[in-house]
Structure formats: structure tokens, C-alpha cells
Structure 1
Amino acid sequence: MDRLETRELAYFVAVAEELHFARAAERLGIAAPPLSRAIARLERRIGVRLFDRTSRRVSLTEAGKVFFAESRAALAAVDTAVRRAQRAARPARLVVAVRSGTGAGLLSDLLEAYAHRPAAAPVELLFTTDQTQALREGTADVALLCASSDATGLTTTELAVESPVALLPVSHPLATRAAVPIEELRRIDVYRATCPPVSLDEIVDRVALGQLVVVVGESAASRIGDAVVAVPVVGQAGTTLVLGRAAGAPTPDLKAFERTAKDVAARRLATAGTA
């Protein structure tokens, strides 16, 4: 069998997502009959029925469900290859994906130290709530992550551990405590065990308005303003910060950035130990 074309996969994915040939055809900018014929040809080519069709509904077969997941992954890989090739043709630079407020002090020291390296590539920050996706899509070269992030398929380097702090409204009864047990936080109605996928500014706003209580790494405390306080948390492990990148051999610029990150993290740890 000749290798399938990306156009065939795109047609299939559109129908699989819509489960309606007319809607999928409209989305693709073609007529429904040619799309139906293209799917039938695809099924004949691979020797597998992908859809169950009746006059009332279209559904994926079990084989179709598997092919759907693999087709989306294949199309995403093609898109990633294009983006990485386009970026490789541009002047050298490193794109660092980071979530607002994550490891702010560490990141600041890292960027300053890297900028002083001989022939350091320019660094561009990509602020996002999904750093791992940016790495997988090829829109970022490296990311500062929490170790709890899904790093499947990525290479990570542990940098530091941040102590946990609870973000509380300044008027909250626990806000004046020197520290608060995690068990007490869990009894608060608006407590959330994980941060919502929004920016740190929005998290702080929600906390200030009494809509959220959440535990974050201590570096976020420098960004919370006057309406929110950060109280150390007892009974919960700290947040491990890691540097993540796509698997494979790193470029010289990326290798230098990783080496700088480890050096900076080690110096910060030594300084904290002597404080």
C-alpha cells in the first residue's frame, strides 16, 4: 500500500470529529459527495471499515477510534515538523515556555546568567498555562515546569524545590497564622488541590475576591499584591521545578542554557543553605 497522504488523514479526522459528512465537508470547504467517496477510498486502501453509517447517524468503529487517535497525532507531528523547520531557518534564539509566577526568582537569575555567556542566543519568553504542549508543538525549545506536569516524551532536569505556601485573602482567619496545616486548608469550601489553568494574576484576583484558596510555590509570593497573603503550608511536599525539553540531542544553545540553569540552581541552593 502506498503511504497515505496528509489530506486523507485530514478528511478522516474532520468526519470523525463531526460525525456528520455534510458538516465535515462544509468545514473542509468541499462538497459532501466527494468527501464520502474519499473516505470510502481510504477504507478500501487500508482494508478496514472506519465508520458505521446509517441514514440517521455516523459513528466510529473500534478500528476507527484507534485510527482517529493515531491520525490526529500524525497530523500534529507534521505541523510540529513544519514549525520547527521554519524556526530553524530564522536567526538563532531560544524560546522558553513558562507559566506566569512559576519559579520567578530562579528564572530571573537564569536569564541574567545565560545572557552573560559568550555568544548566548537571544531568549524569548512564551507565557502559557500549558508549557508541555508548547514543547510538543515545537513553539518552545525549553520550559520551566513543575515536576507534577505531564512530561511524557520529554527530557527533564530537576533544578530546585520550592516550599509550599497557601494564597489566602488578607481578611481570612488563617491569614495571620505563621503556618497552616494542609488539613485545615482542605476544609475550606473554595480550596482547590490544583491551580486552575489560568494566569497567576487571575489566580490572585480570585483569591482576593474570596473565590479561591490554593497552594503554590513560594516564588509566587512576590507577585500577590496587598489583598492576598502567602502563608507557609505544613504537611505538604514542596514544588519541584524542572527544566523540560523535547527528547533527543539538544542544540549547543539549548545545552548551554541547561548547563547554566543547573549552575544557577546550585548557587541558589548553596546561598539558601548559608542564610
Structure 2
Amino acid sequence: MHDLETRELRYFLAVAEELHFGRAADRLGIAQPPLSRAIRQLEHRLGVRLLDRDRRGVALTEPGRVLLREAKIALDAVAAAARRTRQAGDRQRPLVLVTKAGASHELLRRLLDAVAREPGAPAVEVLLCEVGEQAGLLRDGSADVAIMHRPYDDLAGFDTEDLAVEGQVAILPATHPLAARDELVLADVSDVPDLPIARWPRLDGSYPDGPGPEVRTQSKLAQLVALGRTLLVIPASSRAWQWPEHVAVPVVDAPDVTTVLAWQPGNRSPAVASFVRTAAGLRSGS
């Protein structure tokens, strides 16, 4: 058996991130010798070398890089399990709904109004986040349900309920010639020399290649558009954060975007079940 203990994973994670036994020991609040022994024992039990050690320092081996990735996932899952367990015992805790700031604003308003009208409806706390953060907040137990968008958001492993399907618009500086058009196609906005399209992070956090600025926050993006530095293509309902210096023009051949409600599979919370039923009824018009 090669079962791993959370203590071992925390020790290894500290060393792997610091690449220095002394700094890792300080971070953990322990002495360096027992930390070194724990890592050697872990390597012996797993039958692989996790770290290369020499006078120049510490470096991860390939098995070490694998364990670094897996240790983060495992420790996050343990923390999420503890958080969700504590939450299950708190009957006064509100249901937490996470959504990107500015996204699906009108749908969100109607959903919250519909939930509030339900007899015995749970209190709902709205957690606003930046692009791509909903999945992590849902997985670690910080949120119970999330409004997300297919195909852009990470829906892997979640149960979902489709809420709406919509087209996309280009958000442009009001002074740009394209802003005077009634409609655009993707070819019109994909290669504008003086207005490169903004680059959002991929699901793994990396950015696609291109001349446009790297953006992660709505506030940064809004200001760059207003300054005439970039444009973007987003779901039509996400234009709620649009500034007076912006113009939204439909992009008629952009793929449709589906707004979904997502939650952890196997969630038996009556509050989540009630919320999902209300959301499904909102789409059907019941």
C-alpha cells in the first residue's frame, strides 16, 4: 500500500514550491531535519526520487512535478470536503451563488426575484468574481451554485441546467469606425490592426498568442476598450457593464453561448435542489 497522508502532501508541497528546505520548514513552522526525513521517507515509500538535491539547490524531478500537481488537487479536495461538511451543519447559512461580475445581469435579476417569491426560499448570497473563477469556487465549496457559460467556462464534472441561449456582440470604442456598423462578422473583428482583440485566459490559466492585451478583470478590460486599445466579443447579456465610451455591435456569425446553472454532482442540499427547480422553471416560463 502507498497511501499518502495529507501531512506528507503539505510537507512536499511546501518544498516543491519553495525549492528550498529551509524556507519550506519556516513556512510550515517546523525544524528542517524532520522535514528532510519526511521527504526521504515519502520517496522511499513511493519508490521514486521526487527532488534532485545538490549544492546549487533543489529541483523537481518528473515524478516530483506529477506529485506537485496531484498534491494541490488532493489538498484542495480535502479542504473543500471539510468546508462543505461544516456548511451542511449550518442551517442558517445562505445559499451562495457565484457569477462573473457583469455577466447575464438581466437573467440573474429575474432568477433572484423568482427565488424570493418561492415559499420558504433560502436566503441567497451573490458572490461576484472575475473571468474563469466560478469553477474553482464551486469545487472548493465557497459557492453552492454558479452561473456559467458554455463553451467558455470549465464545466467538467458539474451537473448543469441550461438557462438561456444567446448571440454575441463586439464591444468597441465608440469612436472607432466599426462602432458605426449595424452588424459585424468575426472576420471584421479578428484582425483589426489598430484595435487588437483582447486575450482572455484559457482554462489552464495560460493566454493564447496574439497582439491584443492580456486581460483577466472586467475593470481593466472596460478601461482598455474606452481608451481605444482593444475590443472583445462577448455574450450579448454581458454588456451590462458597458461604459458610455463603448458601443456593442452584434457579431452575426459568432457561435451561440449557453448560460447554465452549475452545481456539484451528488449535492443533496434541499436549498440547492429548490434553487435548481426555480431556475429550470424560469426558462420554461412556468
TM-score normalised over the length of structure 2: 0.86
Q: Which residue of 1 aligns with 2:196?
A: 190
Alignment partner, residue 160 of structure 2? 156
Residues 1:248 and 2:266 aligned together: yes
Distance 1:141 1:46 in 2: 36
Aligned 8 A contact 1:194 1:214 in 2: no
Residue correspondence of structure 1 range 25-36 to structure 2 within 5 A:
25-36=25-36
Tell me the CA shift for residue 194 of structure 1.
Answer: 4.1
Structure 1 residue 210: deviation in Å? 1.1
SS at match of 1:192: coil
Describe the shift of the 1:187–1:4 C-alpha distance in structure 2 as closer, same or farther (beyond 3 A). Answer: closer
In 1, are the aligned partners of 2:261 and 2:276 still within 8 Å (CA)?
yes
Shift of 1:65: 2.4
**Cross-structure match for 2:225:** 207
Count residues with an aligned counterpart.
Answer: 267
Tell me how large the CA RMSD over aligned residues is.
2.0
Q: Name whichever structure is richer in helix by fraction.
A: 1
CA positional deviation for 1:229: 1.0
Partner of 2:62: 62
Q: Is the 8 A contact 2:167 2:252 kept in 1?
A: no
Alignment of 1:14-163 (within 5 A): 14-90=14-90, 91-129=92-130, 130-147=133-150, 148-163=152-167
How far did residue 131 of structure 1 move?
Answer: 0.6
Counterpart contact for 2:226–2:243, Cα < 8 Å: no
Identity of counterpart residues, as a percentage? 43
Q: Deviations over 1:130-162 (max 9, x none)?
A: 111100111000000011211112112211112
Cα 1:32/1:193, change in 2 over 3 Å: closer
Could you tell me how far 1:208 is from its partner in structure 2?
0.8
TM-score by length of 1: 0.90
Q: Which amino acid aligns with 1:138?
A: G
Partners of 2:284 and 2:220 lie apart in 1 by 32
For 2:164, give the aligned amino acid. A
8 Å CA contact retained: 1:106, 1:264: no
Rounded to whole Å, the distance in 2 between the matches of 1:192 and 1:225 is 17
Could you tell me whether the CA contact under 8 Å between 1:153 and 1:246 is conserved in 2?
A: yes
- Whole-Å separation in 1 of the counterparts to 2:268 and 2:181: 46
Distance across 2 between alignment mates of 1:204 and 1:41? 52
**Runs of 5+ consecutive residues of structure 2 not aligned to the other structure:** 202-214
For 2:228, give the aligned amino acid: G
Match of 2:209 in 1: none
Kept in 1, the 8 Å contact 2:76–2:140? The answer is: yes
Distance 2:283 2:110 in 1: 9
Q: Provide the rounded CA distance (Å) in 2 between the counterparts of 1:24 and 1:176.
A: 58
Please say which of residues 136-145 and 64-73 is displaced more in the overlay: 64-73
Q: Which amino acid aligns with 2:174?
A: V
Distance across 1 between alignment mates of 2:199 and 2:169: 12
